[in-house]
Amino acid sequence: MKVYDNFNLTEYNSYRVSSKCKTAHFPDNEEDLVELYKSNKNYILIGSGHNIILSKDYYDANFIIFNGNYNDVKVDEKSNIISAESGATILKVSEVAEKHSLTGVEFFYDIPSSVGGAVVMNAGTKEGETKNILQKVRFLDLEDMLVKEKLNEELELEYRNSFFQKNKNKIILKVWFQLEAGNRKLIRKIMDESKDRRWARQPREFPNSGSVFKRPPGKFVGPMLDELGLKGYRVGGAEISKKHSGFIINIGNATGEDILLIIKHIREKVKNAFDVDLEVEQRII
């Protein structure tokens, strides 16, 4: 396990906000993680750095980071099950599945997220959701420091929500996905087409953390912001994307405060115009 003091988090959050933390721990395996939490339960845990907003320039706190570590992915070809450690990216899961001609996880391709983050948020697109392929999850329960497992039906998976979203003291360790045998060429075609659709409409050329808000019932965030003329609205180095107003982008040295001020402005405008309370999808740290 690697440990760093006064660690620069800029490359470990997808907004590329400049920030540092007191210490950063990069566990290599489950044993490392359990030992860390036995000594201290007050860590800030981040995965691939997507779907988060770093609100501070400096954190006098200890971080645990899954990024390039704790990321093993294995395939059981008899059962068509892929197991993945929490720090693996779902991109890697989709690529491993394609290599072994397994279908069901194509929608994961090019979605920026760690496996743990995907389960917490029940990540998905129009093509599918994590809950459709999730078999079970192994996790550390900080209440009693026991390692436990739960099956799909016990995980309360719904739109951008889960058992783990509601219980922050449960730390995901490993995940199993149930897939099916498929045609590799067709799987690749679906993956590429899915990626092309996202790149065509999302501002991938600028640092961002994906959709900022959850979709409110009966509404879509982007069209509401378009109607309000908010595309291009800027605070400091942060801006509501002109390409897709559901995204906030870093166009130059944006701070966490810049992003949060834009969010505040959006929520006030939408509330006044549509009487809709937008809920932030991204995790504010």
pLDDT per residue as tens digits for the range 136-182: 999 999 999 999 999 999 999 998 889 999 999 999 999 999 999 99
User: Is 52:41 a contact under the CB 8 Å cutoff?
Assistant: no
Cα(257)–Cα(238) distance, integer angstroms: 9
Cα(221)–Cα(25) distance, integer angstroms: 36
Confidence of residue 273 (pLDDT cuts 50, 70, 90): very high
Cα(43)–Cα(24) distance, integer angstroms: 9
Comparing C-alpha atoms, which of 131, 277, 285 is closest to residue 213?
277
Sign of CA dihedral 261, 266, 269, 271: negative
The chain-wide mean pLDDT, for the chain, equals 96
203-284 placed in CATH 3.90.78.10: yes
User: Is 46:25 a contact under the CB 8 Å cutoff?
Assistant: no
pLDDT of residue 228: 97
Size (the chain), residues: 285
pLDDT digits (tens, 9 = 90+) for 40-95: 989 999 999 999 999 999 999 999 999 999 999 999 999 999 999 999 999 999 99
Query: Backbone phi, then psi, for 47, in 5-degree steps?
Result: -100, -115
At which residue do the structure tokens 């389960």 appear? 119
73-199 placed in CATH 3.40.50.1820: no
CATH number, domain 2-65: 3.30.43.10
- State the catalytic residues: 160, 211, 281
Greatest alpha-carbon span in the chain? 56
- Sequence ranges of the domains in the chain: 2-65, 73-199, 203-284
Task: Give the 3-state secondary structure of residue 42.
Answer: coil
Q: Write down the pTM of the prediction.
A: 0.93
Per the structure block, which two tokens stand in for 253? 């040295």
